Structure 1
């Protein structure tokens, strides 16, 4: 999904700067406010193996989701800008976040997590199906250490660090 083409909650615009190396990731992150940082995250292309994998998965799709569009880009964090609780995952799922555009959304881990957060008043809804579904977090922010779905759920140390 190209940035700025109407995906719900897309933090990037067509002219958002794109990092293509680890050094560019660091340079773009330094002066950024949270919104600019998440926009830059969502268009990053610094890890060729991850870029190839996430885009291949988005193009071939799982049969169960063949009729759905895939985000196919790095997953930005979302939720409260100044949270009391930070929920950190390893990486988005290939057919979860890589499909929905939101970490912990579209797979069974998210089903459990959002139901739990909703029960204690930290989420507006008990489910999170995709970006733009009306879900909102209260005092919580969600991020992934690795922002792209890695092949076999195994990012390399360099990919993790980037």
Structure 2
């Protein structure tokens, strides 16, 4: 089975129209450590986050998927979350806390329910800390049955579903697009 990253903007180009911010969050796309990031910064207290919303043709079919991402928090803790909206109900599929001044690697499986019409990939900020920062990069949503960490699963930088993920040379990791 071919490996496909269902996340439409794994290189965080900032061109995806379905990026949302919470009540008082500012969204930016900095480069740090040779990597593009989505950065959400709280400018006032409240329900602040930065999130990608996947709709219609961007949605993976129902099933089990492996989620990989790099996530960073500064000035407060944050949470990396994945939600699905199915049959009019929002369901949290994944919630991983990120400690203050920490970068963590997310490697978790989720199950996307049938009838899902929206999928949200979110970095949620501390609600009380003005200036709190949450960042995410290298986002991967791949069918769990094709994910293989030994072959470079997670962390590959495929461009999207339009670019199939397969190695051309033995020295490349599977899914590495250059």
Q: What's the TM-score, normalizing by structure 1? A: 0.26
- Specify which structure has the bigger relative contact order, considering alpha-carbon pairs within 8 angstroms and separated by 6 or more residues: 2
Q: Which has the higher helix share?
A: 1
Q: Which has the higher strand share?
A: 2
Q: What's the TM-score, normalizing by structure 2? A: 0.25
